[in-house]
Structure 1
Amino acid sequence: MLRVSGLRAEADGHVLVDGVSFELAAGEVLALVGASGSGKTTTGLALLGEHAPGVRVTGEVRLTGGAAAYVPQHPSSVLNPVRRVGNVLREVARRQAARAERAADGTRQRADGEQRRTRRERARIADELVAEAARRARLPVELLGRYPHQLSGGQQQRVVLAQALLLDPALIVADEPTTGQDGLIRAEVIEEFRRLRAQGIALVLLSHDLAMVRALADRVVVMHAGRVVESGPAASVLDTPRHDYTRRLLAARPEPRAATDTGGVLLEVRDLVATHRGGSPVLAGVSMSVPAGACVAVVGRSGSGKTTLARCVAGLHQSASGTIVMDGRPLPRHLARRARDVQYVFQDARASFDPYRAVSTQVARTAVRLRGATAQEATAQAGSLLERVGLDEQTAGRRPSALSGGELQRAALARALLAGPRVLVCDEITSGLDALVQAAILDLLDELRRDLGLTLLLISHDMDVVARLADRVATLDDGRLTWEEKP
């Protein structure tokens, strides 16, 4: 059904993908795994006949048997911010229904007196299609009336999965489909993909989530620096890897550490109530204390209010009441003044960068704007930090579209650190990273806490990451906070 032969992609003289070939039958699941920047997303886009600006793709991609759909790693990049998600889904459904009606007209003679469907009938059919797609994507119908910014990352991901299912595809390319999902939703996504496979839909998974790959994939292709270094049946590659890179990738996992002694309270949240505009409360009287130099993790299901809490701390969510203080003083309401003390690293790093300027330039700008550094000083400091998070000068000098999601997450971390904050808010910042790079970033965060006295507020579904970094854990459920000791 799908044949890829000699796929090659280049940008600005740099080879992104080189000589990738594989085949996929209907109902099969193929997983592409490898480091951030290894070429997985470039390969996945090529299967759809797409590529990032400035990328030249050669080779052959042949798909038979139907259409292909895409589920991106960062769903906010494809969701219209000024339209309710349900209206967008209904528009897609109406187009699909109209296309099916035209196809039916083309294969049969319309009977005398038979009329085309009325507008009301088309609307009813579209509503039924949306309801079915939402059910299959585990998207609660009450969320259809919201705008994308009113949804968590996990909820946005379910919206784009529902949108893909409306196309009735023969192939789905899913880029990190479990990124930002809690354990329960993650299990539901895996089960839904199993059902899709049983219906004859082929899946190409681009993923760092090796547990999901093990649960779903029939075959695995391991990519490193744009090349295939190992491929074969999933059980063979994952249980008895032949290549050293594959072995290191499988062996890397965050190691838990004991909670550390920390200083007095640095950050306090008192009786915080937050709502989405025109909606019900997301946070209901939340209070929490974060000691200086500590890492406090906030966990909970998608939509429980974790990101809203983090955005309130950073001054990014305005529909809130309550008090947030640092060293006993309320944090400034002016965003630029607050950003000197509190920096936010977003789950969707791509959306936080200007698409038309070099990444290194944007990182350096932080030191100029918030710390008054000269352009020369800022450039040198940015280069040093970018190197420390694993981005060389050539990679960081490109525009955001030329970097992978994981590379942009590392750049976003460097940009935040360059501000010299006292509190760093990390919203699922390891979710787009392979195990090897994730381990390096976690080690770096530990070093920064020790060397700079940095305080971390960690938002995560990954309990291995929580166990590796957190001194205390807070659980949000339906907008209410409960505390527990380190797991």
Structure 2
Amino acid sequence: MSAVHVRGLRIRIGAQAVVDGVDLDIAPGECVAIVGESGAGKSLTARALLGMLPDGARMTADELRIDGIDAAGLGEASWRALRGRRVALVSQDALAALDPLRRIGREVAEPMEIHRLHRSDRQAQVVRLLASVSLPEPERRARSRPHELSGGMRQRALIASALAADPAVLVADEATTALDATVQARILALLRSIADDGRAVLFISHDFAAVRRVADRVLVMRAGRIVEHGGVAEVMASPREEYTRALVEASVLRPRTPTRPAGELLLQVRDVSKRFERPAVIGASFALVSGRTLGVVGESGSGKTTLARMLIGVERPDSGVIEWASAQRVQLVHQNPLGAFDPRWTIGRSIAEALQAAGARRGDRSAAVAALLAEVGLDAELGRRRPRQLSGGQLQRAAIARALAADPQVLVLDEPVSALDPTVRARVLDLLARLQIERGLTMVFVSHDLAVVAAVCDDVLVMRDGVIVERGPVADVFAAPTHPFTRELLAAGR
């Protein structure tokens, strides 16, 4: 019997059908993935299995059974009895999902308290759960708060919490999207082991590479419908639909062919260190030359973002020298453009503000906003919208347009495509490559994704625990890494 059995699932928001006639079966011990671009209906389908649809959404289904229970038409009280006990969720952002004021042990114990399980040995069960997801020092980590854990540790704690009431079905919604390569590989292996232990796992992702590692079967969604399904190897090797072929091709980034010669020296970094509660960057030294792209890779907490913030002057080094060859206009493109834009302002107003700061005359700003939007492939009409009215790809393009308003010579990009689906990611990377040629830009590209770095960067720094452990041309470093950590990163990214 299927742990999940769905026929004719439909979800409407207002007059629009956002999920239209989805059928889904997941057997115990099986991992089924749903892939597709942003807005395809993947997450809404997953949340329908948890009774957690957004306000204004209306769900109907011909059949909807979760662990043998008929869930079609259930009210909220009945869904609360199912959630955690029969079906549980692991979401993308563990930091947002975990209460910042509560200790990890309390988070993991909560589903047991709700469903009145393990009353006599609840604390011991919490430690066992944390150990089962390979969280190091589980007794100590149970006393920690979320901010005291790394991204990978938080995600493991969230998985432990989801497993606390022993559900038959686990829904993982983009649960590895923002993780670096080595941590992602470990979480995917953990999810696969959870399926192998007998649970049904639904894995929502836009990343075919992750799907290949964890799933048995895959369903491809587009505009609320399943357009293709089958075994993962079969669908990836011989996709029938053009849409699926585009997704698969976009997920495989081609390494850049070295074509750009070294330019003039723009920046010299010598023995730079920065400490917060602990050392963040230790003795960093490297050079940046014009017209090329320098990649900075490493695990979460390796010091990548701190180094980038020192380059743009947001942070000051405690010691060492950051020396630009001459006055350079340097701009940052954030990882999260939604958080970087003022939600009260239109996109056009935010870009106009950047133009004002760059000295543009008031009468020229409206035309300049339209020109910048056109340069990044956006219609001028989008300038009248607010950030939440744009898709992720549109918003990242708008963020690049705002950075270009100051006519920079150097762009520092901090994880600019980590949250984008493969086809949108490919378009943004193509945009950056075009802008670099047309504007003669020099770029510093911070990323945890080695495939992205190989596709866009000429040179690379590999960081671990604040230290640059390897550096050189991307082709050389990735072909013949000399440091064990670089070899581990490359192995995890394959």
What is the TM-score normalised by the length of structure 1?
0.78
Is it true that 1:132 corresponds to 2:147 in the alignment?
no
Q: Distance in 2 between matches of 1:56 and 1:181?
A: 30
1:73: which partner in 2?
A: 92
Would the aligned equivalents of 1:18 and 1:227 in 2 still touch at CA under 8 Å?
Answer: yes
Equivalences for residues 283-302 of structure 1 within 5 A: 283-302=281-300
RMSD: 3.7
1:310 counterpart SS class: helix
- Quickly say closer, same or farther: Cα 1:71–1:371, change in 2 above 3 A: farther
1:445 Cα deviation from its structure 2 partner: 0.8
2:295 counterpart SS class: strand
Would the aligned equivalents of 1:137 and 1:162 in 2 still touch at CA under 8 Å?
Answer: no
Letter paired with 1:219? R
1:394 Cα deviation from its structure 2 partner: 7.7
- Quickly say closer, same or farther: Cα 1:131–1:435, change in 2 above 3 A: closer
1:284 Cα deviation from its structure 2 partner: 1.1
1:257 counterpart SS class: coil
Letter paired with 1:98? E
Would the aligned equivalents of 2:104 and 2:145 in 1 still touch at CA under 8 Å?
Answer: no
Count of aligned pairs: 452
Runs of at least 5 residues in structure 2 that lack an aligned partner in the other structure? 68-84, 476-494
1:136 counterpart SS class: coil
Q: Distance in 1 between matches of 2:165 and 2:340?
A: 29
2:203: which partner in 1?
A: 205
Is it true that 1:478 corresponds to 2:465 in the alignment?
yes
1:417 pairs with 383, 392, 404, which one? 404
1:94 Cα deviation from its structure 2 partner: 3.3
1:95 pairs with 110, 120, 123, which one? 110
1:443 pairs with 404, 424, 430, which one? 430
- Quickly say closer, same or farther: Cα 1:295–1:167, change in 2 above 3 A: farther
Deviations 1:40-80 (A, max 9, x none): 23333333323456x52332383523443333334444345
Would the aligned equivalents of 2:104 and 2:144 in 1 still touch at CA under 8 Å?
Answer: no
1:400 Cα deviation from its structure 2 partner: 5.2
1:344: which partner in 2?
A: 333
2:272: which partner in 1?
A: 272
Task: Report sequence identity in percent.
Answer: 38
Q: Distance in 1 between matches of 2:384 and 2:146?
A: 31
Letter paired with 1:344? V
1:107: which partner in 2?
A: none
Equivalences for residues 25-36 of structure 1 within 5 A: 25-36=27-38
1:359 Cα deviation from its structure 2 partner: 6.3
Deviations 1:345-371 (A, max 9, x none): 21x4444445x5476357535535533
Deviations 1:220-269 (A, max 9, x none): 11122333221233233222211111122223333322151243222333
1:297 Cα deviation from its structure 2 partner: 0.5
Deviations 1:139-163 (A, max 9, x none): 9887778776676655554454444
Would the aligned equivalents of 2:127 and 2:142 in 1 still touch at CA under 8 Å?
Answer: no
Q: Distance in 2 between matches of 1:320 and 1:146?
A: 29
Structure showing greater relative contact order (alpha-carbon pairs closer than 8 Å, 6 or more residues apart) = 1
- Quickly say closer, same or farther: Cα 1:73–1:392, change in 2 above 3 A: farther
Letter paired with 2:237? D
2:447: which partner in 1?
A: 460
Equivalences for residues 190-339 of structure 1 within 5 A: 190-252=188-250, 253-255=252-254, 256-276=256-276, 279-317=277-315, 320-328=318-326
- Quickly say closer, same or farther: Cα 1:22–1:163, change in 2 above 3 A: same
What is the TM-score normalised by the length of structure 2?
0.77
Q: Distance in 1 between matches of 2:202 and 2:421?
A: 17
Q: Distance in 1 between matches of 2:11 and 2:375?
A: 28
Letter paired with 2:189? E
Q: Distance in 1 between matches of 2:94 and 2:405?
A: 27
Would the aligned equivalents of 1:283 and 1:480 in 2 still touch at CA under 8 Å?
Answer: yes
Q: Distance in 1 between matches of 2:404 and 2:103?
A: 37
Q: Distance in 2 between matches of 1:327 and 1:149?
A: 38
Would the aligned equivalents of 2:296 and 2:447 in 1 still touch at CA under 8 Å?
Answer: yes
2:418: which partner in 1?
A: 431
Deviates more, 1:29-38 or 1:181-190: 181-190
